[in-house]
Amino acid sequence: MLQAQRGSIVDANGNTIATASKTYSIYAVLQPLYSGDKEKLVKDKEKTATMLAKYLPMAKDKILVYLNPTSSKTKQVEFGSAGSGLSLAIKQQISRLKLPGIHFTSESSRLYEDNVFASHIIGQTTVEGSGTSAKIVGTMGLEKYFNKLLAGKNGHTSSQVDNYGYQLSTSKAKTVPAKNGGTVYTTLNSNLQNYLESLMSKVQSEYKPTEMTATLMNAKTGAIIAASQRPTFSLQTGDGVSDMWRNALVQDAYEPGSVMKIMTLSAAINSGHYNPNEYYQSGSIKVGGTTLYDWNRNGWGTIPLSQAFTRSSNVGMVKLEQEMGGATWHHYLKKFGFGQKTGVTLPDESSGTLSFSNATTQATTAYGQGIDVTVMQMLQAMSAVANNGVMLRPRIISKTVSANGTVTKYGKQTEGRIIKTSTAKAVRKAMVKVVQSSIGTGSAYKMNGVDVGVKTGTAQIAGSNGYLTGASNYIFSVAGMVPSKNPKYLLYITLKQPQNYTKAPEEMMAEIFKPLITRALALDAASDDAANATTDSTTTKMVSVTNKSTTTAQSTLSNAGYHVATVGTGNKVVQQLPVAGQTTLNGSRVILLTNGAMTMPDVSGWSKSDVLKLAQITGKKFKLKGSGYASAQSINAGALIPDTGGTITFTAQ
C-alpha cells in the first residue's frame, strides 16, 4: 500500500497549525528472527539499558526487565508506551549510539506547531489499523469535520505473482499513486490566538472557573479570529482532553443570562414597542402566578425604560416583552437564529432549545433564562447589531484546497437583515452607556481612548432541584463591540463558577477583554501604517522567526533591512511583532520576545507605534510622555522588567 500524506491545517496567514509527521517505536532483537539471520542482536544488555534510559521515559531497571524476558524463546521485545510515539529527534539521538540489536519502526502521526492552540476547534486524530494499512482519522474538531479532505487517498501497487509470491516475468506491475490530503485554511490569527491562550490560562490559574470560553469575531465578515475554552488540552499529547472533551463553543447549550437583553432591546425598538420615557416599578413583577425579580431585588424604585438596559433590569425586559407580545418576541428569537444550528464548520453542533410553553417562560427568555443557546448562536445573533442589522454566520474556515488544486471558499455569509440600521445603532449606543454611565454594569470594561460598548450577563445554573445558589454558582459573561460606532470586533466571554472569588466577575473577565482588544487594535494600527505606504516597493511580508534561535532571528531580520529589538535574555524567540505574513514597511522595527528573563531594550528614537508594540508583546503598562520620538525611559536598557505593578514611562521629544 502507498500511504497518502495527511493534509495541513493553517492559520489566516498560511502558518502551519497541524501537519503530517512521523513517530517512531523502538524494539530490541534478542534472538535470530529466522535461520541464517545475520541481523545484529543485543550484545551488552547492561550498557544498552543504561544508554536507553537517557532518552526514554523509563528507568534502567525497567528496561532491563524488557531485555530479559521470562521466556528464552522470545526473539524481540518492544518497550510499551514509553518506547512508542518517539520524535525524529529522539530516534536520531538513539541511532547515533549504534547500539547492537536496537531498531525502529515508523508510523504516520500528526505534528502540531503549538501545544495549546484553539485545541477543541483544531481537534484530535487517532491511528486506525497498523503497519502499512494504518491511517490517521480525525475524531474531533476540524480534523474530524474535514477528515475526508485531509486524509487523501492511499495508493497501491499490484502485479501477478507465482505460488511463492514472486512477480511473474510476464506481468507488469500496476501502480495507483497515493493522493495526499488537502489543506484547510482557518480564519484564526496566530498572534491573537496565542495571546488569548495565555490570557485564558492566567485567568484560569488565578480564579479557577470550572469552565470558560472566549471568542473574538470580525463583526464585518463573521470570521472567528481567536477562540478558546477552559479546560483545554494538549494538541500533541492529548493531555487534559478527559477533563473536557466537548467543544464548548458549539456543543454546550446554556442559559445566557442578561447578554440576551441585546436581542430583547433590538426586537422592542425594531418592532416599535420601545418607549424610553415610560416609567415602571423595578424590583419585581408577577407573571403567570410567578414573581420574577431584578438582580437587585429591592429595585431602583420607579424608573424609565431607558435605564432598564443600562442597569440590566430583568423587570424592564419583561415589560418590553409584554409590550411586544409573545408572538412578536418569538418571531424575533427565531429570526436571530435561536433554536437552530448556525451551520459553522465544526462537528456535533447543538441547536439549543427555545421554550415558550407559558407566559412565565416567554417572559424569562427576555432576560436570558428559560432558553438554551450556544456561543456560536450568540455570536451570530449579536452580529446583526454589530453589522448594522444584517446578521452574519460565524465561520472558522476561509477556504479548503484539495490535493488536485480544487478550491472551496467559505466566505462571508449573510443570514439576511434582522433589524434596521437605526435599531442597531440605537442598541450600540445603549451598550456604550453600560460602560460609561454611573448606573451601568460594565465600568470594568472602560478603556482610555477606545470606543467600547458592552452588555454584561449573570445567568443562573440549573441543578437537579432548581437553580443553584451561592455567589459563584453562575455563568458570568460579557459581550463587547469595538469600536461601537462602527464595530470591527465582537468579543464574547463566558466564565462559569469561579472557585477563587477574589474579584468581581467583571474584573476577572476584563483581564481577558481589555488586553485582547488592545492587541487587536495595535495590530490593526501596524497594518494601517503599512497600507499607507506610497509604493509597493516600500512594503514587504514579514517573515516568521518565531521558534528560531535568537541569533538566527536577529540575523535574518537585520539582513532583510529591519531594525530589531530583543526583549529578554533567552536563546529562542517565542513571539514576534509584527507577526509573520503581515504587510510591513521596509526598515520598520521588529520586536522579538525570547524565552529568557524579560529585559528592557533601549527605546531611544522609537516612535509611539513602536512603544505600543512593546507594550503588547510584554503585556506591561507603558506610558509615552510628550510627542515625537522616545528619548528617555524609566527603566534602563538591559534591566529586568518588573513582573507586577507600576507603569513604565518613556519621555519623548
Residues involved in catalysis: 258
DSSP, res 190 = H
Residue with cell 477556504: 399
DSSP, res 86 = B
Cell of 193: 490566538
Cell of 66: 524488557
Kindly state the helix (H) or strand (E) to which residue 127 belongs, with its residue range.
strand 125-128
Count CA atoms within 13 Å of residue 388 on its CB side: 7
Interior/surface letters 438-464, b for 16+ CB within 10 angstroms, e for the rest = eebbbbbbebeeeebbbbbbbbbbeee
Cβ atoms within 10 A of the Cβ of 79, count? Answer: 21
Judged by DSSP in three states, 306 sits in helix
Contact assessment for residue 118 and residue 188, using Cβ atoms and an 8 Å cutoff:
yes
Q: Position 327: which residue type?
A: A
Count CA atoms within 13 Å of residue 494 on its CB side: 32
Cell of 501: 472569588
For residue 245, report the phi and psi dihedrals to the nearest 5 degrees: -85, -20
Give dist(CA 508, CA 208) in Å, integer: 11
Beta partners for 550?
none
Chain center to CA of 531: 27
Q: Position 36: which residue type?
A: G
Give dist(CA 338, CA 256) in Å, integer: 12
Contact assessment for residue 303 and residue 311, using Cβ atoms and an 8 Å cutoff:
yes
Q: 312 vs 26, 259, 293, 478, 561, CA distance in Å?
A: 62, 9, 12, 12, 54
Contact assessment for residue 84 and residue 130, using Cβ atoms and an 8 Å cutoff:
no
Pairing between strand 573-577 and 589-594? antiparallel
Cell of 531: 497600507
Interior/surface letters 580-595, b for 16+ CB within 10 angstroms, e for the rest = bbbbbbeebbbbbbbe
CA-CA-CA-CA torsion sign (575, 580, 583, 587): positive
